[in-house]
Structure 1
Amino acid sequence: MAYSGNKGLTRLIKAGCYSWAGAKAAYQNEEAFRQEVWVLLLAVPLALWLGEDGVEKSLLIGSLLLLLMVELLNSAIEAVVDRIGTEQHPLSGRAKDMGSAAVTVAVVNVISVWLFVLS
């Protein structure tokens, strides 16, 4: 549905509900997302303690949130590809591999940010 007709607060509430449903589905169905959520829950207090100022704390926490965002997008790509069919196709494999590569880049970003900020 391109346009739901919802406006204002109703649209925001519905969008929030859809977002919550997506996060819940990812947590229930994606092991990598669950692991990254637990890393986030452990690392945010650490970032707040180790970051010397707001910029450092934002970089540390932001890198972790970016990883979660990329993982959600990767999971969405995988779900759509799997929905289309189970047969092997080069484009399906390429889409899944690119999503996985994006997650790897996000992990490298987390490691780099944490190393640079804390060194």
Structure 2
Amino acid sequence: MRNQPKYNLFKNTIYALKGLKDIIQNESSFKIELLLACVMGIIIVCIDVTVVEKLLLFITLMGILIAEAINSAIERVVDLVTLKHNKMAGRAKDVGSAVVFLSIILCISVWFAIFYTNFNKIF
């Protein structure tokens, strides 16, 4: 049997906000990415592109934050299981880092494509 309480929208929202607060307070990579996402969010609002393009830019930014949160969760679980150096634990952490890396590559690619195709409207 799983150790899971009944679903409660209010309590689950509180848990999610606690997790978000914790990751902001304790993960320097997330802080940097959140700051960049805020700056890039302002750019999204200010540039002259379609709503769909703005949405794509926003989604890719959020993807980085989501990937970083997943990576942090993986790292914490691995550290909870073992503090000793373990090959499989290291591989799990590397895969989490790869998720972040791939999300950054995707974000850069989408931003480049949208800025490239709209260069005359933006600048």
- The answer to whether TM tops 0.5 is yes
1:15 maps to what in 2? 12
Counterparts of 2:24 and 2:5, CA distance in 1: 27
Gaps of 5+ in 1: none
Verify the 8 A CA contact 1:33 1:68 in the aligned structure 2: yes
Aligned length: 115
Match of 1:116 among 108, 113, 118: 113
Gaps of 5+ in 2: 117-123
Extract structure 1 runs of 4+ deviating beyond 3 A: none
Match of 1:88 among 71, 74, 85: 85
Identity %: 34
Counterparts of 1:21 and 1:51, CA distance in 2: 36
TM-score w.r.t. the length of structure 2 is: 0.88
**Where do 1:39-118 residues align within 5 Å?**
39-118=36-115
SS in 2 for 1:41: helix
Match of 1:26 among 23, 40, 57: 23
Residues 52-108 of structure 1 deviation map (CA, whole Å, 9 limit, x = unaligned):
111010011110001100000000000000111211111100000000011000110
2:121 maps to what in 1? none
Q: RMSD between aligned alpha carbons?
A: 1.2
TM-score w.r.t. the length of structure 1 is: 0.91
